[in-house]
Amino acid sequence: MSMREGSWWSRSWGTLALAAFALHLGATAYEDAILAPLWLGDPPSSVTAWRDLALRPDSSNLFQALTVIILVTTAMSWMSGLSARGWRRWWLTLSLACAVALAAVTYLFVVPSERWLFGDGAKNANDAVVVAWTGEWLRAAVMRAAALVAGAWSLYRAQLSVVAYAVAVEADFELGISPPAARPRRVREFVFGDEQGPEITIPEDTINPRQRWRGSLPGPRRTAKK
């Protein structure tokens, strides 16, 4: 398998991470479009009415578990795909950055806001504080949705690059062109200097400076035998 295509482990972890991103994104879209307007519409009265319900849907446990799964699987796909060349490595790096941003937004902003609004903290607070915490949750939800969309798209592009590479290799095979892994490597001549700068080569017929110096010396004096 070519290093440009990506390892089997990287593609497998990438598939799991993409599935987790898609599941989290779908659940987040449902929560933001259906559930959140029920308690977010007219704070603080709507928040109080939602908190006083005997049975209400709570997606925080599911979202926290999905965030951990996304972070772990994306990190594993990125680490096992560092040897991949081309755009796949950069798409994996972007998806890992989105996974880290998702974890930070979830555990630093979304979870504390939900615990305060639907816990004991909002019962004795004034209306202005409840409205402020509601706005804090709304801003965090927007950042979470942005991280999910960007992460899912970057992972999709990373997985799609594997398919594009396989199609390109198949097209080259039909044209009689061998893939990069099967092409013979050209042996370069030993040079001094950078590849991009001027090269100083050592010709094979160069005379050793020490030998040239010895040849320039006068020969030993001959003495007559007595």
Contact 11, 1 (CB under 8 A): no
Q: Model confidence over 73-84: pLDDT tens digits?
A: 999 999 998 887
pLDDT over threshold 50, residue 169: no
Peptide bond into 37 cis (omega under 30): no
Would you state the pLDDT for residue 168? 45
Backbone angles phi, psi at 119, to 5 degrees: -110, -155
Integer Rg of the chain from CA: 33
- Structure tokens belonging to residue 194: 């950078």
pLDDT higher at 182 or 29:
29
Would you state the pLDDT for residue 199? 53
* Residue 113: pLDDT band with limits 50, 70, 90: very high
Contact 18, 159 (CB under 8 A): yes
Q: Model confidence over 32-43: pLDDT tens digits?
A: 999 999 999 899
pLDDT over threshold 60, residue 69: yes
**How many angstroms separate the CA atoms of 52 and 224, rounded?**
126
pTM assigned to the model: 0.70
Contact 99, 151 (CB under 8 A): yes
Contact 155, 95 (CB under 8 A): yes
- Structure tokens belonging to residue 106: 């979830």
The 8-class DSSP code of residue 58 comes to -
Over residues 199-208, the mean pLDDT reads 55
Contact 1, 8 (CB under 8 A): yes
Assess if CATH 1.20.120 describes domain 8-174. Answer: yes
Domain ranges of the chain: 8-174
Would you state the pLDDT for residue 208? 65
Would you state the pLDDT for residue 148? 98
